[in-house]
Structure 1
Amino acid sequence: MLVVPAIDISRGKCVRFIRGRPEEAIVYYNDPVEAALRWADEGAKLLHVVDLDAAIGLGENTDVIKRIIKEASVKVQVGGGIRSFERAAQLLNLGAYRVVFGTLAFYKPEDIKKVVEVYSPEHVMVALDHIGEKVVVKGWREAVGVKLVEAAERVVEKTCAGSILATSVAQDGTLAGIDVCSVRKLIEKAKVPVYAAGGVSSLEDIKEVAKVGAAGVVVGRALYEKRFTLREALEAVKNVG
């Protein structure tokens, strides 16, 4: 299982929103590239970069993302405000390994399928933000009306995306522990690799996610606030039987 450090970008800085709220932003790095280089140096194989400003419609951070892709020696997946084929193509052409779609998967899945057809399923991920079994979209403000497992089956069928990122909204950025139960249910039914995110606070959380068969776990605040090191997390995954 991959341990994937998160780099959330707002106004050109590496930050963390608590439960997605901009008014509760914590700044970790004034230059997100420094974070990317740190995680690459500590052994990350993949980085999860999110343009928070693009996600909420307050500009974008393409120049910073471009620098991360260029200067980090690892794969970079990018999410946040990707609402068209053109934006996805721009990021992939800049060198992003994978683009992560959210709301678009439920409203214009054909646009995502077009990206898959041009770039392959490996380079396309669909994010499912959930509160328990309920899937939410549009910045976590609107429920889609189907449960997590059914939503996953639908979006994979309609978009042909190669992987899923399941983020527990209630736990995101809280260090409250990850929703392993929902992740397990999703993995049992999903036909593509599942990555988990939201609330990781300890090495035990990471081990639990590995045990249920996740392809990866995205970790943000716990790494930045030194609950454990990335090297410790990578070692913990190795020891999961």
Structure 2
Amino acid sequence: MIIIPAIDLKDGKVVRLLKGDFNTVQQVAGDPVATAKTFYEAGARYLHVVDLDGSKDGVRKHSELVQAVVQVGLKTELGGGIRSMQDLEEVFSLGVWRAILGSAAVRDPDFVKAAVDRFGPERIAVGVDAKDGLVRTDGWVKEEGIHYLDFAKSMEALGVKNLIFTDIDTDGALTGPSFARLKFLLEGVSCSVTAAGGVSCNADIQSLVRMGVDAAIVGKAWYVGALDLKQAIEEAGPQ
């Protein structure tokens, strides 16, 4: 299983939120580039970056920072504010390995299909962000009334091969991933599934490995010292 440490950017700072609530924003690290280097030194070879400003406002704001982070050498996936083909072109020009479509994927399935056809399924991932089982958009503040599995299946039908599932109620809460909903998703689609949100310790990583999840995103648990990243990577297997 791939371990993907996370850097969330807001106003140029590395921050974390609790359950996606922007009122809980807390700076958790200094320089994003130095943070990425720490991940690399621990054995990580992938990185998950979210432009929180872009996610909420629909306009990306951290291109220079993202480009600098990419140069550390980690395969970097980026989400937040990617709403058009021009956005994708600009993101990939920064050296980003994979783009994550969230709100745009819910509202414009034709865009998803065009993106997959143009750039290939390995360079496009779709974020399945849900609260109480229902998909949310616009920085997780708008409920779309779509069940997360129905949305995932619709994305798979468009040629999407990579899904990143976040149960919003677990994100940043250090209470463990949403294992039941992850299992339901794994049984419902054949896509590669990345688990995001809730990882609280190394034992959670081991449980996800046993479930057969393809990748796991690690955020707050590492920042607060509750997870040993090097150990997690060693136990998860080759990166």
| TM-score, length-scaled by structure 2 | 0.94
Counterpart residue identity of residue 63, structure 1: E
One-letter amino acid of the counterpart of residue 169, structure 1: I
Structure 2 residue 193 is the aligned partner of structure 1 residue 194: yes
* Corresponding residue of 2:224: 225
Aligned-residue offset at 1:206: 1.1
Shift of 1:95: 1.1
**Are positions 1:119 and 2:119 aligned together?**
yes
CA RMSD, Structure 1 to Structure 2 (Å): 1.6
Question: Aligned partners of 1:46, 1:145: CA distance in 2, in Å?
Answer: 32
Displacement after TM superposition at 1:29 (Å): 2.2
Which structure has more relative contact order (CA 8 Å, sep 6+)? It is: 2
State the match for 2:91 in structure 1: 91
Map of 1:147 onto structure 2 = 147
Instruction: Quote the offset at 1:59 in angstroms.
Output: 5.7
Whether the aligned pair in 1 keeps the contact of 2:84 and 2:111 (CA below 8 Å) is yes
Alignment of 1:15-30 (within 5 A): 15-30=15-30
The aligned counterpart of 1:53 is 53
Local SS of the residue matching 1:56: helix
For these two proteins, the number of residue pairs brought into alignment is 237
The one-letter code sitting in structure 2 at the alignment partner of 1:7 is I
Say whether the 8 Å CA contact 2:121–2:160 is kept in structure 1: yes
Unaligned runs of 5+ in 1: none
Distance in 2 between the 1:52 and 1:110 partners?
A: 24
| Aligned-partner residue type, residue 48 of structure 1 | H
- Tell me, in whole angstroms, the C-alpha distance in 2 between the residues paired with 1:174 and 1:43: 25
The amino acid that maps onto 1:62 is: S
3-state SS of paired residue (2:93): helix
Paired residue secondary structure (1:83): coil
Q: Within 2, Cα distance between the matches of 1:104 and 1:131?
A: 18
Structure 2: tracts of 5 or more residues without a match: none
Amino acid across the alignment from 1:217: A
Q: Which residue of 1 aligns with 2:168?
A: 169
- Secondary structure of 2:149's aligned partner: helix
Partner Cα separation in structure 1 for residue 206 and residue 229 of structure 2? 13
Report the equivalent of 2:4.
4
State the 1:145 CA deviation. 2.5
TM-score (norm 1): 0.93
Q: Which residue of 2 aligns with 1:107?
A: 107
Q: Greater CA deviation, 138-147 or 79-88?
A: 138-147
Kindly indicate whether the alpha-carbon contact (under 8 Å) linking 1:12 and 1:30 is maintained by their aligned counterparts in 2: no
Divergent runs of 4+, >6 A: none
AA partner of residue 226 (structure 2)? R
Query: Which residue does the alignment assign to 1:216?
Result: 215
Please give the secondary structure, in 1, of the residue aligned with 2:48.
strand
| Identical amino acids, percent of aligned pairs | 30
User: What SS is found at the alignment partner of 1:92?
Assistant: helix
